[in-house]
Every structure is written in C-alpha cells, then in structure tokens.
C-alpha cells in the first residue's frame, strides 16, 4: 500500500522580515529614488478643479405625464392607447449624448472666459496655451511625429467654425472639451448634474454656467420650435390681413366721402359692397389675431422650466489627486519593487547568470 505524501508550502514570515531588514539600506535608496520620481511627477502634473451644476427639469406634459403612465399600464394588458405619440424626442436620458456631440461642443470654443488671475481670452485659446503637457508625454509625441501623416486640405475653421470641415486645431480642442465636461442624469429623479474640470477654477465655473444656459436654451428651442413656427406663420397672416383691411377701409372711406350727397341706388349698392368687403377683411384680421395670440400662448405653455438646485461656483479645492498622495504612491511602488527584488529577483538573476 503506497502512502501519499503531501507537501505543504509554508511561508516563513520571520525569515522574509529578516531578509528585508538585512537589505534595509538598499530598500531605503530605492524608496528615496522613487520618492524623487514621485515629486517630479507631482510637480509636473497640473492641478484640476471641478465645478458642478445640478438641475431639475420640468417633465414634458406632451408625453411624459399622466397620459404616458396610463398608456404604460394599458400596454401591459396588450392595449395600445397611443399615449406615447406625443413624447419628446429629446428627454433627460439623452442629454449626455447632446453634451458629447460635436455640434454642441463646437459652440463652446468661442466662449469668453476670465481666468483666476484676471486674464481674459476665449475658451479655445485657454485650452491651447494654458494646458501644460507633462514631460512624460513628450517621448510619445516625438514618436508620433515621426510617423508620416496624410495632410488633408481642410479649410473653414478660420472663416467660421463648421462641423463638416473641422481643422486639426478645432478637432483637438473638441476632444479636450469632451474629456473635460460631463452630464449625468439620475434615471429615477431626472436630476441633471453637469461637471466641468479645468486647471483654472474660475474657468471651470464659467464653462459650467455656460453649459447650464446652453442646455436650457437647446431644450427650450426644441420644445417650442413648432409653436414658434406657428406663431411666425400666423403673425405673417395677421400682418397681411391687416394690410388688406386698412386698404379696404381707406377705399371705403374715400368712396363714402366722395359720394355723400348722391342718392343713386347704384352708388349705395357699391358702398354696401365696399362696406361688406371691409367688414370681411376686418373679421379675417381678428381671426388671424386670435390665432396669433393662441400660438404665442402655446410657446409659453411649451417652454419648460428648470429648477436650479446648485448653481455654478468657483471650486476652492482641487479635484485632482493630491501631490502628497502621488509621492506616497511612488514610494510604495518603490518599496514593493525593491522588496520583490530582494526576495526573488536577485536570486533569479544570479541563477540566470550562472546558467550562461
């Protein structure tokens, strides 16, 4: 009967500690070197600040209200009430997609900003001049610069920014902005949180406030577009009908003034015709005026209200990783790598040299 032997691998913690303590000077040097690297990295890494805006939008009564709720309940029983036919195409859940679209971001490049030191410039100029590149990214940039690229003759950025033909400069700035701004929507409450990160706290607050206003305008323009078109249409009809009425009124008044003492029936019939035509045009003008006022009221009805829970303000504390923590992380990495070298790496290297 063969006996199975079980080999148990036990870790001798005391032996590991003694081995590490015997190399304490070497580990101290490694930690010190990594601490210096951590200091260099921390000093070359720009601080970033994040400004927040929190909004609570009004839910659309056109399709996101009671009728939709009843429609959802009915659909569970296989009944289609068509309640969602009036639902808005733009609802809170797709606001982040609006923020990431180039059409929306491109309008931010020319926003005037004021830095904390009082310097004024456009947001695009701030991104290009004040965003410092860390030293560790230069080698990668140099390597990429050696790769030949096909130059595209794209014009239009200087004459007026066009989404269809972006220059390299605008394209890079749009990507920077896309990484600096974010929009989060709580699916349960539909509360919107807008975050803007920048190396200047005042610029972050200005852009956050701008995004809040731009988003509100974007949604208001969408929600009221049809009502505004209807208003402009009825306004045009009203002005045309008013001009026709004033012309008919002038014709009638001139005819009556020129035939005051005439008693011929033909003259009176012509006068009645002109009066009837004037009255018809007056009624048409009143009808167009009523339609125009109704369309104007519809604009106000369709305009959503946004409740600002938290306005944009200049952040006082950096949102980036603290520099002291960066140094500690590098020191920890140095201690860890030094310990692995003392415990395993050195023996492995020496055994490999002996094999050669």
User: pLDDT value at position 138?
Assistant: 56
Per-residue pLDDT tens over the stretch 62-121: 444 444 444 444 444 444 444 444 445 566 778 888 888 888 888 888 899 998 888 899
User: pLDDT value at position 205?
Assistant: 93
Sheet order of strands, 181-185 included? 181-185, 192-198, 49-57, 306-310
Separation between Cα atoms, residue 267 and residue 153, nearest integer Å: 76
**pLDDT at residue 44 greater than cutoff 60:** yes
**pLDDT at residue 286 greater than cutoff 90:** yes
Q: Which CATH number fits domain 48-77+89-224+307-315: 3.40.50, 3.90.1070, 3.30.1380, 3.30.1890?
A: 3.30.1890
User: pLDDT value at position 144?
Assistant: 55
Confidence band for 208, pLDDT divided at 50, 70 and 90:
very high
Per-residue pLDDT tens over the stretch 260-281: 766 666 777 877 888 888 899 9
φ/ψ bin of 79: left (φ > 0), alpha (ψ from -120 to 50), beta (otherwise):
beta
Separation between Cα atoms, residue 279 and residue 245, nearest integer Å: 8
**pLDDT at residue 152 greater than cutoff 70:** no
Q: Where are the domains of the chain?
A: 18-45+321-337, 48-77+89-224+307-315, 228-301
Place of tokens 């577009």: 225
Per the model's pLDDT, the better-predicted residue between 215 and 68 turns out to be: 215
Nearest partner of 129 among 115, 140, 142, judged by Cα: 115
Separation between Cα atoms, residue 179 and residue 192, nearest integer Å: 18
**pLDDT at residue 182 greater than cutoff 70:** yes
């Amino acid at each position: 009967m063969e006996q199975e032997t079980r080999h148990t691998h036990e870790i001798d913690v005391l032996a590991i500690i003694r081995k590490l303590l015997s190399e304490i000077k070497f580990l101290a040097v490694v930690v010190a070197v990594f601490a210096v690297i951590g200091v260099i990295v921390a000093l070359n890494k720009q601080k970033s600040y994040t400004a927040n805006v929190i909004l609570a939008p009004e839910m659309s009564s056109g399709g996101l209200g009671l009728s939709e709720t009843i429609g959802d309940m009915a659909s569970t029983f296989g009944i289609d009430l068509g309640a969602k036919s009036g639902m808005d195409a733009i609802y809170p859940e797709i606001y982040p997609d609006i923020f990431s679209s180039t059409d929306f971001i491109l309008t931010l490049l020319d926003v005037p900003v004021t830095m904390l030191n009082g310097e004024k410039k456009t947001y695009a100029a701030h991104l290009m001049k004040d965003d410092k590149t860390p030293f560790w990214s230069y080698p990668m940039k140099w390597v990429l610069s050696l790769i030949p690229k096909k130059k595209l003759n794209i014009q239009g950025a200087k004459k007026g920014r066009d989404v269809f033909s972006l220059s390299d400069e605008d394209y890079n700035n749009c990507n920077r902005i896309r990484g600096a701004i974010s929009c989060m929507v709580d699916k349960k409450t539909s509360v919107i949180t807008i975050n803007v990160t920048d190396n200047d706290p005042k610029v972050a607050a200005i852009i956050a406030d701008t995004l809040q206003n731009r988003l509100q305008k974007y949604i208001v323009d969408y929600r009221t577009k049809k009502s505004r078109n209807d208003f402009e249409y009825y306004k045009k009809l009203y002005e045309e009908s008013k001009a026709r009425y004033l012309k008919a009124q002038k014709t009638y008044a001139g005819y009556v003034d020129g035939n005051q003492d005439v008693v011929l029936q033909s003259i009176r019939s012509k006068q009645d015709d002109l009066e009837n035509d004037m009255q018809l045009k007056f009624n048409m003008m009143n009808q167009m005026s009523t339609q125009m006022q109704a369309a104007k009221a519809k604009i106000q009805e369709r305009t959503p209200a946004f409740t600002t829970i938290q306005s944009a303000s200049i952040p006082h504390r950096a949102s980036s990783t603290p520099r002291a923590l960066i140094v500690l992380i590098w020191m920890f990495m140095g201690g860890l790598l030094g310990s692995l070298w003392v415990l395993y790496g050195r023996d492995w290297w020496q055994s490999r040299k002996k094999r050669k």
